[in-house]
Amino acid sequence: MIKRDNSSLIEDELNELYTWVDSVPLSRSKTKIAKDFADGVLMAEVVHHFLPKQVELQNYREATSHQSKLSNWNTLNTKVFQNLGFQLTQNDIEQLISAQNGAIERVLKILKLKILNYQDIETVEPQKSSATNISINNNQSTIQDLEQKITDQQDIIAILELKINKLQQLVKLKDNKIQAFSSKLQELGFRF
């Protein structure tokens, strides 16, 4: 629904809005914006220019009859505007179809804000995804580093266990030699 206020769009806002619309390559030239947009086709083209995935232009036909214009606007309202987070009332649509002064400007102003907001969201999502990928890559790198440290530690443990076994063998050998010397000394009559 279009929010109504008593103040009209100020001239600077209108000029900025018209410049924004002029930046879009439209299928037909604009002479009087309210009448040019009355059938909804140029509105569909504006949305398609900024958000091509949101609008299928073949759904909109140039129209002169009230019913055809209404069909175009209803399609925009339900398939496009709703996805962008706003909807027009039937009264709003009637004002657009009848090219009432100021109606198209109000809708274009809302549309511009919604498109900018939608584009901001679309650019934030890939950044989040990119940050997530970086985080995942960092986590994978950290996991690989930890796995390498574990492997290194296991190698060190294996080497130390070999050294322990060797030292135990040496201690056993020394004990055997000590026992042998002790036995010989006892045979020779030395007591200790």
Ranges of the chain with pLDDT below 50: 1-7
- When the pLDDT of each residue in the chain is averaged and rounded to a whole number, the result is 84
Domain boundaries, the chain: 11-122
Q: 120 — phi, psi (to 5°)?
A: -60, -45
* Cβ atoms of 104 and 2 closer than 8 Å: no
Report the pLDDT value the prediction gives residue 189, as an integer from 0 to 100: 85
Report the pLDDT value the prediction gives residue 66, as an integer from 0 to 100: 92
Q: What CATH number has the domain spanning 11-122?
A: 1.10.418.10
* Cβ atoms of 36 and 30 closer than 8 Å: yes
User: What is the pTM for the complete model shown?
Assistant: 0.59
Report the pLDDT value the prediction gives residue 3, as an integer from 0 to 100: 42
N- to C-terminal Cα separation, the chain: 109
Q: Which long-range contacts (CB under 8 A, 24 or more apart) does 27-35 make?
A: 28/62, 32/99, 33/104, 33/105, 34/99, 34/100, 34/101, 34/103, 34/104, 35/99
From the number of C-beta atoms within 10 Å of its C-beta (0-12, 13-18, 19+), residue 150 rates as exposed
Secondary structure string (H, E, C) spanning 151-181: HHHHHHHHHHHHHHHHHHHHHHHHHHHHHHH
Report the pLDDT value the prediction gives residue 141, as an integer from 0 to 100: 76
